[in-house]
């Protein structure tokens, strides 16, 4: 069965006919410089605490995160990965008339919306830099009730975009914002003021990043705005576009963050939500206790203080990503899209699922096909930015297969 997420090494190893640790994984967008030694040392030190339950309030971790983001601790809730907290955001979104979802969208967004029967309206992006401009070619049967937004002529990232509740052009994040949705027989009752917005920034899988000023108008229009900033850490402070500084001003804003991608700790499962304490307390009352394990807490507190690892990552990523993008663009039939995160989306003339199979069988390299994104289908694949040596191995393999 084709995996929905990247990083499924057991599946890849079965196809390649090797052990999973022999696979060079470009499918999961994880920092290749990690895990940092600070995390490993903290985990070793915390082993003696395994015979005790974690602090159910996670006071020390919340305080550490609060210091980083200059917020009171009660505005932060740790979770078992940001996917855990996304589920509870889906619960809140399900209480609204509908949720506007920027697509192509991470598959877990559909899972979270489906879990509580939320209605979703797709707002497809135009893919910057791609040769193909067709959007919405696929359909998704994920259980969440949905509807395609009306398509317009405006490009994401341009100067024009969504039309707000008062009829004014206010932002360009939603280039195909549906003014009159056929979602219900009474579509005139469906407005931003009784709906939610779910998006990620930087966007996955395209890598596009919006300036916070482009998202800001939606905070005035929508009843709830959920912004997944799982990849924002890969931007240094001077370049990031996080909405965290605005969260205390907007009680309808929820921000989801991940510590596993930047610090290369996906096996520990650790993320956190930033939102109004009343909202987070509602989530706490419904979710399982002890959502975060002791080792994950120890690692998180350590890496938040690891400025050396942070600086190393910020210095490494831009030139390495630029070189990978340039080398991919030189391969016939491939066109990478520019991105701000630690991965690149690549348009391919050859079916990406076939490329994936060939790379696995002949080179033991795993790339991320985009079959789980109906808007992209077999015309795109995604690759993580890894070390220069590993990137060169990918480029050489793609040259051999495509020429």
Give tens-digit pLDDT for 75-131. Answer: 999 999 999 999 999 999 999 999 999 999 998 999 999 999 999 999 888 776 554
Average pLDDT value for residue range 159-179: 42
**Tell me, what's the pLDDT at 11?**
77
Say if residue 388 is preceded by a cis peptide, omega within 30 of 0: no
Q: What is the CA radius of gyration of the chain?
A: 21
Contact 337, 321 (CB under 8 A): no
How do strand 365-366 and strand 76-79 relate by DSSP bridges?
A: unpaired
**Tell me, what's the pLDDT at 126?**
78
Instruction: Quick: pLDDT tens for 62-75.
Output: 999 999 999 999 99
**Tell me, what's the pLDDT at 151?**
35
The CATH class that applies to domain 9-30+308-402 reads: alpha beta
- Reported as a pLDDT band with limits 50, 70 and 90, residue 196 is very high
Instruction: Quick: pLDDT tens for 146-163.
Output: 444 443 333 333 333 333
CATH 3.40.640.10 in the chain, residue ranges: 48-304
Task: Output the average pLDDT for the chain.
Answer: 86
48-304, CATH topology level: 3.40.640
What percentage of the chain has pLDDT greater than the value 90?
75
pLDDT at residue 164 is higher than 50: no
Cα 264 to Cα 173, 294, 332, 377, 393: the distances in Å are 29, 17, 32, 28, 21
Provide φ and ψ at 23, rounded to 5°: -85, 130
**Tell me, what's the pLDDT at 158?**
34
**Tell me, what's the pLDDT at 178?**
44
Average pLDDT value for residue range 306-333: 98
Contact 337, 128 (CB under 8 A): yes
**Tell me, what's the pLDDT at 2?**
59
* Cα 268 to Cα 273: distance, rounded to the nearest angstrom: 17
């Amino acid at each position: 069965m084709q995996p929905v997420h990247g990083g499924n090494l057991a599946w890849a190893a079965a196809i390649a006919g090797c052990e999973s640790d022999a696979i060079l994984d470009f499918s999961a967008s994880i920092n290749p410089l990690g895990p940092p030694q600070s995390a490993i040392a903290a985990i070793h030190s915390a082993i003696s605490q395994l015979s005790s339950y974690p602090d159910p309030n996670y006071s020390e971790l919340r305080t550490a995160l609060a210091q980083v983001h200059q917020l009171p601790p009660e505005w932060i809730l740790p979770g078992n990965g940001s996917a855990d907290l996304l589920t509870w955001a889906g619960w809140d979104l399900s209480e609204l008339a509908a949720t506007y979802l920027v697509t192509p969208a991470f598959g877990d967004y559909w899972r979270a919306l489906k879990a509580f029967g939320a209605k979703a309206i797709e707002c497809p992006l135009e893919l910057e830099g791609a040769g193909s401009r067709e959007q919405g070619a696929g359909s998704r049967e994920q259980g969440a009730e949905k509807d395609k937004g009306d398509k317009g002529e405006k490009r994401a990232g341009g100067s024009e975009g969504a039309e707000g509740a008062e009829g004014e052009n206010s932002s360009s994040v939603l280039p195909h914002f549906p003014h009159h949705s056929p979602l219900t027989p009474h579509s005139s009752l469906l407005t931003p003021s009784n709906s939610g917005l779910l998006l990620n920034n930087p966007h996955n899988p395209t890598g596009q990043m919006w300036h916070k000023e482009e998202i800001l108008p939606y905070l005035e229009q929508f009843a709830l705005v959920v912004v997944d900033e799982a990849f924002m850490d890969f931007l240094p402070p001077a370049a990031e576009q996080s909405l965290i500084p605005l969260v205390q001003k907007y009680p309808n804003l929820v921000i989801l963050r991940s510590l596993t991608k930047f610090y290369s700790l996906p096996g520990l499962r650790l993320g956190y939500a930033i939102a109004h304490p009343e909202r987070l307390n509602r989530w706490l009352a419904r979710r399982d206790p002890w959502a975060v394990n002791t080792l994950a807490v120890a690692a998180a507190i350590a890496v938040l203080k690891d400025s050396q690892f942070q600086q190393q990552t910020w210095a490494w990523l831009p030139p390495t990503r630029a070189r990978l993008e340039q080398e991919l663009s030189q391969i016939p039939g491939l066109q990478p899209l520019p991105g701000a995160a630690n991965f690149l989306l690549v348009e391919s003339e050859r079916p990406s699922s076939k490329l994936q199979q060939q790379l696995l069988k002949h080179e033991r390299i795993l790339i991320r096909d985009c079959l789980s994104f109906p808007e992209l289908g077999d015309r795109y694949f995604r690759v993580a930015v890894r070390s220069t040596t590993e990137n060169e191995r990918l480029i050489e393999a793609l040259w051999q297969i495509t020429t």
